């Protein structure tokens, strides 16, 4: 019988832990961690994400600032706003909610954020430091997955791991983090993608599978060996006549088929998703303590 990895409960527990830490910091005369978010335009999904980040900040006792800009904002204006936040001493972390309107070069914006405030971990300096094995802000989803593995005492050392999907924010950093000699790593990782011809052969040999390719129910039961650990990063919204909203969320894993073969598996929703906000909070706490770039 498989065990469900409960991201919702784990993230709630970690939020409580962070709230305690914040309380102690303030009691010791320290300052409240402060996260700023820039939201450009009024995209529905982005509004939802930013709102839940703000709510999480309140819950753990952070200050949060939401900076709203219309989607007519120019790249120069947005860069100026980023610079302003960079120079605001009280703000510890800054995220710019993606995607941005097409006329703005996202990479330029990401690189304009001070690495010391880049709690999303998207800046090349943080990516590079992570790869080299230096202290860094690690991007939220891979950090959240590592935290889930730790909390469930799932061994990674000496295990074979298939990461499916080579995105900059999940697949690539995940593959490096699990390979590292330091930290929660020492797995032998195969990074799989759209040009991998014999994917099933690889996943069938994997002790741990991270499905992060963004295709609903891609990983099927015949692709997974008995006892595997399966982490589902995908989240695709599809129409459904069985839910009140008319929509349901699917992961990259065909859960009903795959789960019975697993030792551990994350559900969608309620698996990896809730952990990403927790990673963001953790990074903001680290930023306020100024520990990453001091080391």
Whole-number Å distance between alpha carbons of 194 and 70: 36
Contact 13, 277 (CB under 8 A): no
- Write the DSSP symbol of residue 198: T
Nearest of 194, 196, 190, 227 to residue 210 by alpha carbon? 190
Q: Minimum Å distance from CB 170 to a second copy?
A: 13
At 27 the three-state DSSP class reads helix
Q: Which is nearer to a second copy, 48 or 107 (CB)?
A: 107
Q: Minimum Å distance from CB 171 to a second copy?
A: 9
Q: Minimum Å distance from CB 34 to a second copy?
A: 25
Nearest of 133, 143, 157, 170 to residue 283 by alpha carbon? 143
At 274 the three-state DSSP class reads helix
Whole-number Å distance between alpha carbons of 153 and 167: 26
Active site residue 150: no
Q: Which is nearer to a second copy, 99 or 128 (CB)?
A: 128
At 76 the three-state DSSP class reads helix
Q: Which is nearer to a second copy, 82 or 127 (CB)?
A: 127
Nearest of 89, 30, 85 to residue 61 by alpha carbon? 30
- Of 6, 15, 92, 97, which one is the catalytic site residue? 97
- Write the DSSP symbol of residue 260: G
Q: Which is nearer to a second copy, 17 or 201 (CB)?
A: 201
Active site residue 58: no
Contact 279, 140 (CB under 8 A): yes
Q: Minimum Å distance from CB 202 to a second copy?
A: 7
* Angle, alpha carbons 263-147-56 (nearest 5°): 120
Give the footprint of a second copy on this chain (CB under 8 A).
107, 123-129, 131-134, 157-158, 160, 166, 168, 172-173, 175-176, 179-181, 186-193, 195-198, 202
- Of 6, 92, 118, 120, which one is the catalytic site residue? 120
Active site residue 120: yes
Q: Which is nearer to a second copy, 145 or 169 (CB)?
A: 169
- Of 53, 81, 172, 254, which one is the catalytic site residue? 53
* Residues with active-site annotation: 53, 97, 120
């Amino acid at each position: 019988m498989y065990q469900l990895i409960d991201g919702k409960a784990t993230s709630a527990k970690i939020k409580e832990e962070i709230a305690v830490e914040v309380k102690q910091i303030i009691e010791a005369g320290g300052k409240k961690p402060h996260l700023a978010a820039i939201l450009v335009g009024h995209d529905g999904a982005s509004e939802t994400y930013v709102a839940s980040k703000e709510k999480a900040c309140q819950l753990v006792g952070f200050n949060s600032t939401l900076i709203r800009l219309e989607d007519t904002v120019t790249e120069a204006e947005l860069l100026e706003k980023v610079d302003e936040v960079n120079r605001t001493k009280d703000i510890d972390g800054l995220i710019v909610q993606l995607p941005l309107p097409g006329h703005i070069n996202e990479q330029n914006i990401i690189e304009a954020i001070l690495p010391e405030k880049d709690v999303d971990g998207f800046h090349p300096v943080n990516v590079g430091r992570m790869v080299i094995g230096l202290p860094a802000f690690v991007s939220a989803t891979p950090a959240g997955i590592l935290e889930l593995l730790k909390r469930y005492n799932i061994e990674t050392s000496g295990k074979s791991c298939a990461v499916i999907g080579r995105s900059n924010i999940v697949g690539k950093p995940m593959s490096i983090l699990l390979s590292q000699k330091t930290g929660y790593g020492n797995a032998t990782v195969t990074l799989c993608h759209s040009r991998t011809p014999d994917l099933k052969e690889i996943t069938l040999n994997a002790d741990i599978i991270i499905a992060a390719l963004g295709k609903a129910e891609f990983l099927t039961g015949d692709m997974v060996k008995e006892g595997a650990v399966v982490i589902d990063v995908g989240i695709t919204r599809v129409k459904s006549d069985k839910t009140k909203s008319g929509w349901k969320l699917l992961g990259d894993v065909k859960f009903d088929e795959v789960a019975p073969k697993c030792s551990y598996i994350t559900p969608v929703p309620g698996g990896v998703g809730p952990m990403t906000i927790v990673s963001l909070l953790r990074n903001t706490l680290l930023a306020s303590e100024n520990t990453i770039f001091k080391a």
